Chain A
Amino acid sequence: MRAEDSYTLAAETARTSYSRLVAILAARTRDVALAEDALAGAFQAALEHWPKSGVPTSPEAWLLTTARRTLIDGARHEAVRERVMPDLTMMTEEAHRLRDASEELFPDERLKLLFVCAHPAIAPSIHTALMLQSVLGLEATHIAKAFVVAPATMGQRLVRAKRKIKAAQIPFIIPEKDQLTPRITAVLEAIYVAFSTGWDEAFTEASKSAGLADEAIWLARLVVQLLPENAEAKGLLALMLYAQSRKSARRNQAAYIPLAEQDTSLWDRTLIAEAETALRAASTLSEPGRFQLEAAIQSAHISGLLQGSVNWPAIILLYERLIRTAPSIGAQVAQASAVAMAGRADDAARLLEGISEQAGTYQPYWAAIAYVERSRGNYEDARTAYARARELCTDPAVTEWLAGKLAELG
């Protein structure tokens, strides 16, 4: 095994164990901050030792023992120690006793922790950050960079949210049936925010949120594993995998490459296959939803481009269903673009006209208008729209691409 492979394996195991233990400890004490405090040092130690010495037989037992030792040594953590020691001692003993048993050491509480992070009594704007920190162990500074806020601000928001979880006694439970769907939706939406943040920022500020898209996929795989009967979780996983499969083809050096012009040989076929499997499994559950529809649209684009002919009427129908299920300006603009691609530029123009009031500052709207007007031979309107899109664009590579389109029109 190469050195970086052993590091990757150790890091992956440590992260999985860490998140499981934070969830278990927090579920017992309803105190997420406390659970993190108790385990943070042990996690760091694992990342240091495991790549060299190998992953221990029972990673959980190792982490718990190390956490206990760290707490005993660290006089600074006196308050923490008093609060968490009884739990930690009991769990360490449990872990050692069961070390050689083949059954799972502890029940998986991570799903409960995900539901707590995306609880309706916690502001949706902090759901994603809370998940990234408590389930994945990401540091506040890293999360702050990804969300473009000051680290201190992000730290305060996270502390505040965790204080509320404890003070208001948000329960660590799987919600009852009548509440399950909206609660899962909140969890999935928070994961998707993490992915989109990583996706949007992947090239503009590579250092800032590097890996956030991968973290989101990791979380989605976890939810799919823990909630095998949920169709939308599989839909979300498929959607993100389709997008991620094209990561290497999205840019040539620094230049933006639109989907239709991408080198399909750069697409990751393993991820595409995993996405197809997830989407098929979702469809057998007969519970359609927003993420499955978006994944189906991605699937249609990808298979079309791989086969050399895109089925635009099918894509337009999928967009119609998506807009009925989860109306958004983004979906409406995308539908209009698909209509234009199908050769119906006049219909596309009418669709875009219909949303002009709401979409005035939405860059893709102006790019779509530009494309449609150029197709209809209205070069002056196309120029104006490209110029507006360029003004609104925040991604330098896309800005340059738009400038190129503008130049083509003379």
Chain B
Amino acid sequence: MQYMLALYEDENVFMNLNEAEMGELMGAYNAYTTSLQEAGAFVAGEPLEPSATGAIIRNHNNTMQVQDGPFVEAKEHLGGFYLIDVPDLDAALDWAAQCPCASTGTVEVRPIWNIGD
């Protein structure tokens, strides 16, 4: 069973980290990724650039509209994700809780949709 762990973080906190703090955070994420890999649970994972570097695209009635992002007006924004493969939701929630993001932001756990079902 695959789950997406969507990482929602306060970008301001992230951007105001000094070099040492940033190094520490990177170290925590690396360690987390490694433990996912060692457990055989890691499928994929990507960090994202801050939401202000992205864009919102709509194409309603074939009219393309481009807006500055992000679309969720919240303090925390999607900062990256992991795709994991584990037996059930309890295992997914355990991994989510261990993610560095869970201690400062929010980790959303969402099952991957197997369209055949």
Contacts and interface: CB of A to CB of B under 8 A. Distances in A.
Interface of A: 119-121, 167-171, 173, 175
B116 interface: no
Interface string B73-94: 0000000000000011110010
Contacts of B93: 120-121
B111 interface: yes
A168 B111 contact: yes
21 contacts: A119-B89, A120-B93, A121-B89, A167-B111, A168-B89, A168-B109, A168-B111, A169-B1, A169-B87, A169-B88, A169-B89, A169-B111, A170-B88, A170-B89, A170-B90, A171-B87, A171-B88, A171-B89, A171-B90, A173-B90, A175-B90
Contacts of A171: 87-90
Contacts of A121: 89, 93
A268 B42 CA distance: 59
A332 B93 CA distance: 36
Interface of B: 1, 87-90, 93, 109, 111
Interface of B is mostly: mixed
B97 to A, nearest CB: 11
A170 B1 CA distance: 11
Nearest to A167: B111
B7 to A, nearest CB: 18
A119 B1 CA distance: 19
Contacts of A169: 1, 87-89, 111
Given A119-B89, A168-B109, A170-B89, 5 more contacts: A120-B93, A121-B89, A170-B88, A171-B87, A175-B90
B96 to A, nearest CB: 11
Contacts of B90: 170-171, 173, 175
Contacts of B88: 169-171
Contacts of B1: 169
Nearest to B110: A168
Nearest to B88: A171
| The 9 residue pairs across chains A and B that have the minimum distance between CB atoms | A171-B88, A169-B88, A168-B89, A170-B89, A168-B111, A169-B1, A169-B89, A171-B90, A167-B111
A170 B88 CA distance: 6
Nearest to A165: B89
A289 to B, nearest CB: 24
B110 to A, nearest CB: 8
A48 B37 CA distance: 57
A239 to B, nearest CB: 30
Nearest to A175: B90
A312 B75 CA distance: 51
Nearest to B86: A169
Q: Most chain-B CB neighbours within 10 Å: which of A121, A168, A170?
A: A168
A121 B3 CA distance: 14
Contacts of B89: 119, 121, 168-171
Contacts of B109: 168
B17 to A, nearest CB: 31
Contacts of B111: 167-169
A175 B93 CA distance: 13
Contacts of A173: 90
Contacts of A167: 111
Nearest to B111: A168
A315 B111 CA distance: 50
A171 B109 CA distance: 15
Nearest to A172: B88
A163 to B, nearest CB: 11
Nearest to A170: B89
A171 B88 CA distance: 6
A166 to B, nearest CB: 9
Nearest to B113: A167
B70 to A, nearest CB: 25
A119 B109 CA distance: 15
A169 B89 CA distance: 5
A175 B88 CA distance: 13
Nearest to A119: B89
A24 to B, nearest CB: 18
A66 to B, nearest CB: 29
Nearest to B93: A121
A7 B14 CA distance: 66
A393 B7 CA distance: 46
A167 B109 CA distance: 12
A82 to B, nearest CB: 13
